[in-house]
Amino acid sequence: MTMLKQPSGADSVAPSDRKAVIVGAGEAYRAEQGSDYLPGISAETVGAKALWLGVVTMPPGKRTKAHVHARHETAFYMLSGDELEMWSGDDLQFRDVVHPGDYLYIPANVLHVAVNRASTPAIFIGARNEPTAQESVVLFPEMDGRIP
């Protein structure tokens, strides 16, 4: 059996950085842009350095505020719900509809608004390359009125 060579300074690495970690969900919160987050993997739950993974819910009849994530990409997989409108682009001119089983990718610095016009919650598994609870969100209140 081949043993892995420990990197220089490995003795100073905390034990949690040297093994897999199983964690229950972190504390739920409403994000500044308006969706509900339930973190699983994050800086707060396991000390993640570059990853956030969790459940994101858009309540029925609700929408996010117009916003961008200045420094990170976001990926979602829609678990359940009816459908979710995703408006994006510099003038929020693009409308796409996400359904259960669809993946959604939002590049960094892309203006977007999510709208759930259904009577059921839209529930997603989400990941981003920013580990903190309050990620690099920038609100654009002047754009909120563009989406009916």
Q: How many domains does the chain have?
A: 1
Which of 2-6, 73-77, 123-127 is least confident? 2-6
pLDDT of 109 over the 90 cut: yes
Half-sphere exposure (CA, 13 Å, Cβ side) for 31?
Answer: 29
pLDDT of 5 over the 80 cut: no
Percent of the chain with pLDDT over 70: 88
Q: What is the mean pLDDT of the chain?
A: 88
Residue-wise pLDDT tens digits, 29-64: 899 999 999 999 999 889 999 999 999 999 999 999
DSSP assignment of 80-133, as one string? ESS-EEEEESTTS-EEEEE-TT-EEEE-TT--EEEE--SSS-EEEEEEES--SS
Residue 108 located in a structural domain? yes
Residue 106 located in a structural domain? yes
Residue 2 located in a structural domain? no
Residue 19 located in a structural domain? no
pLDDT of 4 over the 50 cut: no
Residue 57 located in a structural domain? yes
Residue 26 located in a structural domain? no
Which of 25-34, 68-77, 96-105 is least confident? 25-34
Higher pLDDT, 135 or 35: 35
- Which domain does 116 fall in, by range? 34-143
- The CATH number of the domain holding residue 118 is 2.60.120.10
- pLDDT level of residue 16 (50, 70, 90 thresholds): low
Residue 77 located in a structural domain? yes
Span 15-35, mean pLDDT?
83
> Per 3-state DSSP, what percentage of the chain is helix, strand, and coil (rounded to 5)?
10, 35, 50
- pLDDT level of residue 96 (50, 70, 90 thresholds): very high
Residue 111 located in a structural domain? yes
